[in-house]
Amino acid sequence: MNHAMPRFVLHCFTLFCLCFGLMIPFAAHAAQDIGQVISLVPGASVLRNGKTEDLAPHSGIRVSDTVRTDASGRVKILFNDDGSLSLGPNTAIDMNEYADAGSAPAFGVHLTHGLARVITGKIVDQNPGGFKMTAPLATVGIRGTIFAIRVVNEMTTIYVEHGKLLVNGIEVTGGFKIILLPDGTWLVEPITAQDRRELGQDLALRGGAGTAAAAPEPTEQGGQPSAADQIAAGERNFLSPNNTLQEVPLVTQNLGDSLASAGPIVPAGPTVGQVTGTLSSPSLLSSGNNSFSFAVNLTSGAISNGNINITQDGALFGPGAWSASLSGGAGLASSSGFTMNASGWSYYQGVPADPGAAASIAGGADLLSAPTLYSFPVTYGVTFDTAGTISDTGTGVGLFTK
């Protein structure tokens, strides 16, 4: 009798069982919940593996999920690292990355549109560089903070309630917001009382559009949550006497001076603002020192101490052939815009060539009422000789500070 075939089948079956047994933990790990819904207003759902499901208290959230809310929905997610994410109405976020174990924990989320509020957890405590939140116009890196981000009408606004944010390389501190515009410019302003009211209304999980559903809070051996658990959770909600989750309205939370007070304390403003910027041209300017600067009196609008440095490319006369280093620029700023003119010598291949070089910088920004930090577009024109036969025009970006 030939026993080879049964023995071969037995080996195959054993190998299959071993492989299947090894695959089960990996499959379970791949589908592991990274957080759960702790409160919501109906109208929140999750898109997972091509299927949409309504969210409910205790619903798990996983990597690669897309969480959405409709016009009335709101949801709050508590992650395993005790960080939290609250979504306002008409919002969608993609959970791109989450790892709270190992030597390099990470958290990655993309806000497609709508309003989201983030309180960071242990991942940021252990690895601040592991946090990344993106939006259509922004990449946000943090050092442990509380902030909200809103994407609407192709504009992204980020409100820093506590701590510091690094937004597209720009540092924004608590009590301020940064507004990113579709044309690539941006501005930084104090968070206002109206901002706080709107955030509170849009993120509130009680009242307004529906009644919040709540998940029971984890307890210690059937009792109340420990004080350590509540402190570690940051914004984790407390149990009310009737044993249901009670949301704390955004406007009354102890989030630091930026939101606890009626508004940021604004000292008497400076009387002079400074503007610096860069210039570019698709054809004639080199990548050298094409820059400008000036001071503006915020009371009178007078512009002074203007400087413009421009180098023409070698398309016509050779590399870096013509340059102009102009100083003593002056002009006027008003609510409808500004113009600054400067004149001086031009140089041909580094040798003084003509004392009749002139350039102007103009823009439509209202510098007299601009916020503390403000980015805006400009246009320029320059002539390198008295006759005006060698000239150039282009655009640039200015940065106002005060």
User: How does the average pLDDT of the chain come out, rounded?
Assistant: 76
The predicted model scores a pTM of 0.59
Separation of alpha carbons 119 and 83, rounded Å: 5
Separation of alpha carbons 121 and 83, rounded Å: 4
What is the percent of the chain with per-residue pLDDT over 90, rounded to a whole number?
31
Domains of the chain, by residue range, sit at 35-203, 272-401
Say if strands 373-383 and 391-401 run parallel, antiparallel, or are unpaired. antiparallel
Query: Where do the H-state alpha helices sit in 294-371?
Result: none
Between 2.60.40, 1.10.150, 3.30.300, 2.40.128, what CATH number should domain 272-401 receive? 2.40.128
3-state class (DSSP) for residue 25? helix
Report for 75-84, 230-239, 268-277: range of highest mean pLDDT:
75-84
* Separation in Å, CA 295 to CA 43, 235, 367, 373, 390: 52, 44, 11, 14, 28
Cβ–Cβ < 8 Å for 230, 132? no
* The pLDDT value given to residue 142: 76
* Range 115-137 average pLDDT: 90
Strand partners, 178: 158, 188
pLDDT for 169 beyond 50:
yes
DSSP 298-322: TTT-EEEEEEEEEEB-TTTTSTT-E
* The pLDDT value given to residue 314: 55
pLDDT for 319 beyond 50:
yes
Separation of alpha carbons 131 and 163, rounded Å: 14
* The pLDDT value given to residue 69: 95
Separation of alpha carbons 339 and 326, rounded Å: 15
Is the Cα torsion angle 200, 205, 206, 208 positive or negative in sign?
A: positive
Backbone dihedral angles phi then psi of residue 122, each to the nearest 5 degrees: -70, -25
* Residue range 51-79, pLDDT digits in tens: 999 999 999 999 999 999 999 999 999 99
* The pLDDT value given to residue 243: 29
Separation of alpha carbons 58 and 233, rounded Å: 17
* The pLDDT value given to residue 317: 56
Query: Where do the H-state alpha helices sit in 177-287?
Result: 193-203, 227-232, 257-260
Give residue 313's pLDDT band: very low, low, confident or very high (50, 70, 90): low
Separation of alpha carbons 187 and 198, rounded Å: 20
* The pLDDT value given to residue 25: 44
* Residue range 202-252, pLDDT digits in tens: 888 654 444 455 544 444 344 444 333 433 343 333 222 332 333 333 332
pLDDT for 385 beyond 70:
yes
* The pLDDT value given to residue 261: 33
What would the CATH number be for the domain defined by 35-203? 2.60.120.1440
